[in-house]
Every structure is written in C-alpha cells, then in structure tokens.
Amino acid sequence: MEGAVVLLDFWPSMFGMRTRIALAEKGIKYEYKEEDLRNKSELLLQMNPVHKKIPVLIHNGKPVCESLIQVQYIDEVWNDRAPLLPSDPYKRAIARFWADFIDKKIYDQGSKVWKTKGEEQETAKKEFIESLKLLEGELGDKAYFGGENLGFVDVALVPFYSWFYAYEKCGNFSIEAECPKLIAWAMRCMQKESVAKSLPDREKIYEFILHMKKIFGIE
C-alpha cells in the first residue's frame, strides 16, 4: 500500500482535481508536479505515451492514467478508509453511470459555453444546463451524490464548480438561478478540506480562460 505517489498535473485541470480530491480524502501523501503543457516533461511522455496527457498518477514507479480510473485505483488500493464507491454492486453501477455521464457531457458542453458566441453559445448553454438539471435530479435530497459522504460522482463533478464562474461570465448567465440545488451541493462539498484544497480560486480560472481566449483568438 505504501510507496511513493507522484501526481503529474496542471493546476486548472478538472481531471487533475478529481485525483487530488481522492488522494486528500484518503490522506495520502504525494508529490505534486506541475506540467507545462506546451513543454511536456520527459516523465509525462514516458508515463503516458498513448495520450501524453495529465493527470498521471505514478505509484511505486507505475503509471495510472485517466482521472476516473485513477480515482477507482486509489479507492481500491487504500480500501481501509473513506470509501469513494459504495459496496453494493447496483449502487456502484449507478455511480459509474453518472460519472460516465459527466465525462461524456459536462466537459465538452462547458467548453462550448466559453469558446463560442451567439447562436452556438445559446445552444451550448441550454445543453449544459439540461445536463446539470439531470444531475440535480440524481442528487435529489441527498447531501452528496455518495449519500452521507463524498462519493465517486461527487469527486467526478465538483471540480467543474471551479469553472462555473468563468462559464457564467463568458456566457452571461447564472447557473445558480437554473440549478440552485446543485450549487448548494457544490458549496457543501467546498466545506470539505479535501475539496477546498484541491480546487483553484474561481477568479484564477476566469483569468486562465481569458488568457486561453486570447491565444485561440476567441473574442
């Protein structure tokens, strides 16, 4: 179980944030290495030759790639504390289904919100809110998607909360107005040290997006 843990990451990445949260929930000490994505390190290219992407979790010298796979790996190795997936197979299937939904929808739809304008942006906002509303439905009256405590779906989704402010500014809309229960959930998650420590400041994300818009020539 013990052994060196290294995380190759990039501070604004929602995917990296998921792994940071999982490591923090389990109280695992690790070395955080910030990657410059325009100048990827030898280590990154060696540890993730297929995708050359962050985050990469390196445990005892062996790489695990893809954020949700990393979160499951962490849950399975450090299985004596803070379980992220429930023990019941059906509940696990439901958790995996919604984490997969988040992967399929939220990143691309959110990206379209800040990258596009006009008609395209309106469509992007509409689809994005629809997805969030489906997630709100799944949350229901629970404190967390995981029930009483943070679970797999919470870890998969809450990093996007750090990007909501930037989406709202770029899209000129309020996510809270459309999805108040989801925002309440996000703020509840932010009360947890593991989440608060792992998410960057929303103003910094907004600055980052403005910078990206300049680079990509998006108005």
Contact set with another protein (CB under 8 A):
49-50, 59, 62, 64-66, 69-70, 72-73, 76-77, 89-90, 92-93, 96-97, 100-101, 134
Question: In the complex with another protein, which residue's Cβ is closer, 18 or 192?
Answer: 18
Closest separation in Å from C-beta 22 to another protein: 13
Question: In the complex with another protein, which residue's Cβ is closer, 70 or 162?
Answer: 70
Instruction: Decide the pairing of beta strands 31-34 and 62-65.
Output: unpaired
Question: In the complex with another protein, which residue's Cβ is closer, 74 or 205?
Answer: 74
Closest separation in Å from C-beta 153 to another protein: 13
Question: In the complex with another protein, which residue's Cβ is closer, 140 or 217?
Answer: 140
Closest separation in Å from C-beta 15 to another protein: 13
128 HSE (CA, 13 A, CB side): 27
Closest separation in Å from C-beta 62 to another protein: 6
Question: In the complex with another protein, which residue's Cβ is closer, 16 or 171?
Answer: 16
Closest separation in Å from C-beta 12 to another protein: 22
